[in-house]
Chain A
Amino acid sequence: MSIVLKTENLNRFLGEGENRVHALRDVSLQAEAGKTHAIVGHSGSGKSTLLYLLGLLDRPDSGTIEIEGKATAALTDDQRTQMRSQSLGFVFQFHFLIKEFSALENITIPMKKLGRWSEKEMRERGMGLLQDVGLEDKAARLGNHLSGGEQQRVAIARALANDPAILLADEPTGNLDHKNADRVFDLLSKISHERGNAFIMVSHNPELAQRCDVVFPMEDGFLKG
């Protein structure tokens, strides 16, 4: 299996002055395609901060991040955005669907930006993704007319829209009940294994974390083990 994400000695400080906190301390990790990875730790351990750095939503104060073999440190804001569009998919604790758009439209929004497919191909691809998450019959429903679990499944389909090499999830089941949480995790795990995406999940749920192929325990900004 190939390494699609690699970090070396990542450091990140948050806050200013007296409130300045060393949130990440020399974090180095690798993620492999087709494997599921869990970053676990208590609240404030720096796991979400690490995920945002991996997702190019934030910049490290020092250290390097390579995505699919490309260094990201010197990239401009637009180049980082382009890389997010091509190589990264996000699932957040809150689904963040755009409520004015239907489930299918929410999935095609990232595809339209990437511009890789025709309108017809985007629709077909979107319907295929909805079928994968079991919501093909709710394609025309607006985002806010779906249940919490359904919204999160649409968010997963949207994260997979551009066929990213890396799927990042920040507490994807944190806002769901036990049954829906299991269902969403199983779905993410299955998709990742089938499609060959590297799945990296931040969670403080040790049960779910143990079901991942690789676990990165974090404490006080350090990656342990």
Chain B
Amino acid sequence: MNTNFQIALRFLLSRKRAMLMSLGGIVFGVGFFIITQAQTSGFEQFFIKTILGVNGMARIEDRFQSTMRSMQAEKGSNFRVSLEDSVKYISGVEFPQQIMEAVHHFPDVTAAAPVIRGSAMLVANFKEQDCKPYGIDSQQHFLVSDLDEQVIYGSIEAFQKNPYGVLVGERLARRMKLMPNDTLLLQAQGKSSRYRVAGVFETGIEQVDKERIYLHLSAARTLLERPTGASFIQINLNDPQKAPEFSARLEPVISHSVMSWQRREKTWLQVFYVLRISSALTVSTIILISGLGMFNTLVMIIIDKTREIAILRSMGYTRSDITQIFMLQGLMVLFAGIILGWAFAASTTYGLSKLPIRIRGIFATDSFIVNWELSHYLWAAAIATVIVGIAAYFPARRAARLEPGDVIRGSST
């Protein structure tokens, strides 16, 4: 074993209680950092998975026409006045088939599906309720959403087999007391059509579950009197993170507005981001405090070992040996703290993932959602390393600066 390491270890063990306090601080600091990140990012990832599964990674919505963007200030003048709102939007997608063909030329696109959206009155069991019928091509739509995984009662097959079958949101079905095989009326454009409930779906997003009804595209065209076109085209991509660049590239090509999921869900994503940063900063204070504890422990060891430092210097140990001996003590506690902190974090995160908790509103879960990510562990280790490294460096430098002659002179009678 390296002599400096051996001396550092023995010095450290001579102050077991103080060392254990510092170690505990690092273990809890590293552990809680990872646990909070695992939870916040876990819920964030689950939220993203939910909204991608419901509303897709990107949507092609309204067609736009460029109108006059600037006008000459005066006849013959080179000065031009730029005009705001120079783009005119036309609601919906007029030629969805052509747009979908064009979109499939982009290598990032894995699937696209047209949707017709409208408003209707749902009548069932002597009750009435406003709802949002969504006309879909089931085969295509399952490729751009997780609707097939969201059905909690009834079945997708029943929906696919029955041209007048509908899938009703869980909150809406509960309010209207609807179960699979029940019939309902949808009233729109002054006429009514009867449908059969094939299934009930739950996304966890309250706004969706309390008003949305999926019906076949052809049935929706009849109900909403839209024989052609689509309200929007929902798109799935290879990489959800590329949605903003893809949208920016696609928009000018097809002259339709293209909304990425990041833009659409910006508010919630910001909330999760702020929560993650805030929890990371809060928990980092534990590591900071443990760093101060480490600083105190090392200062106490140095005060206690001043004579030993002097004798080591007199025996041929250089200033850098002394720095190394005290830095090593900090690094030993740091290393042990990181390993134990990781173990504590992993076991607690696993325990949390089994903890029952019912959440509905922006997603649906019956247990804590955690995200196992290596970067959380590496970040916690990096923060602890910086803080403990600084906490160990200054006392170590002070120890190295001790003049052996001064120490020994002060000890003699």
Contact = CB atoms under 8 A, between A and B. Distances in A.
Q: How large is the interface on B (under 10, 10 to 19, 20 to 34, 35 or more residues)?
A: 20 to 34
Interface residues of A, number: 33
Contact of B310 (A88, A93, A96, A171): A96
Contact of A52 (B10, B317, B405, B413): B405
Contact of A100 (B3, B14, B404): B14
Contacts of A77: 318-319
B318 A78 contact: yes
Nearest to A55: B314
Interface in B292-326: 307-308, 310-319, 321
A98 B316 contact: no
Interface stretch (A107-115, A176-184, A192-200, A208-216): A107-115
Contact of B412 (A98, A110, A171): A171
21 contacts: A52-B405, A52-B408, A77-B318, A78-B319, A81-B318, A84-B315, A85-B315, A86-B316, A92-B408, A94-B307, A94-B411, A96-B308, A98-B7, A98-B311, A100-B10, A100-B14, A109-B3, A110-B315, A113-B317, A170-B408, A171-B412
B13 interface: yes
Nearest to B319: A77
Nearest to A77: B319
Interface in B143-184: none
B13 A113 contact: no
Q: Mostly helix, strand, loop or mixed at chain B's interface? A: helix
Contacts of B411: 92-94, 96
A174 B312 CA distance: 22
Interface of B: 3, 7, 10-11, 13-14, 307-308, 310-319, 321, 403-405, 408-409, 411-413
A83 to B, nearest CB: 9
Contacts of B3: 109, 112-113
A152 B3 CA distance: 23
A170 B7 CA distance: 25
B314 A58 contact: no
A158 B308 CA distance: 13
A78 to B, nearest CB: 5
Given A58-B403, A78-B318, A90-B314, A170 B10 contact: no
Interface of A: 48-49, 52, 55, 57-58, 77-78, 81-82, 84-86, 88, 90, 92-94, 96, 98-101, 109-110, 112-114, 158, 162, 170-171, 174
Contacts of A113: 3, 315-317, 321
B316 A114 contact: yes
Nearest to A93: B412
A174 B413 CA distance: 9
A96 B316 contact: no
Contact of B308 (A57, A86, A90, A98): A98
A20 to B, nearest CB: 16
A97 to B, nearest CB: 8
A141 B10 CA distance: 15
A48 B314 contact: no
